[in-house]
A and B are shown apart, each in its own frame.
Chain A
Amino acid sequence: AAGVIQSPRHLIKEKRETATLKCYPIPRHDTVYWYQQGPGQDPQFLISFYEKMQSDKGSIPDRFSAQQFSDYHSELNMSSLELGDSALYFCASSLLDSMNTEAFFGQGTRLTVV
Chain B
Amino acid sequence: AQSVSQHNHHVILSEAASLELGCNYSYGGTVNLFWYVQYPGQHLQLLLKYFSGDPLVKGIKGFEAEFIKSKFSFNLRKPSVQWSDTAEYFCAVIPWMDSSYKLIFGSGTRLLVRP
Q: Which residues of A contact B (CB under 8 A)?
A: 31, 33, 35, 41-45, 48, 50, 55-56, 58, 90, 92, 94, 96, 99-108
Contact = CB atoms under 8 A, between A and B. Distances in A.
Interface residues of B, number: 23
Nearest to A106: B43
A99 B30 contact: yes
Of A33, A50, A102, which is in contact with the most chain B CB atoms at under 10 Å from its CB? A102
Nearest to B30: A99
30 contacts: A31-B101, A33-B102, A33-B103, A42-B90, A42-B106, A42-B107, A43-B44, A43-B105, A44-B105, A45-B102, A48-B102, A50-B101, A55-B100, A55-B101, A56-B100, A58-B102, A90-B43, A90-B44, A92-B103, A99-B30, A99-B96, A100-B32, A100-B51, A100-B52, A101-B101, A102-B49, A103-B103, A105-B43, A106-B43, A108-B43
